[in-house]
Amino acid sequence: MTLCSPQPMPLKKTVGMIEVSREGRKCVNKHALNDFTECIGTCHSSTYFNIKTGLHESVCSCCQATDYQSLEIELDCDDGSKFKKKVAVPSKCSCVACGEKSPYTPQ
**Percent helix / strand / coil, the chain, rounded to 5:** 5, 60, 35
Q: Give the pLDDT score at 1.
A: 59
**Whole-prediction pTM:** 0.74
Q: How far is CA 105 from CA 3, 14, 33, 43, 67, in A?
A: 22, 21, 21, 21, 8
Task: Compare 86 and 98 and report the one with higher pLDDT.
Answer: 86
Selected from 3.30.1330, 2.10.90, 3.10.50, 1.20.120, the CATH number assigned to the domain covering 5-97 reads: 2.10.90
Quick: pLDDT tens for 27-64. Answer: 999 999 999 999 999 998 889 999 999 999 888 899 99
> For residue 107, is pLDDT > 50?
no
Delimit the domains of the chain by residue range: 5-97
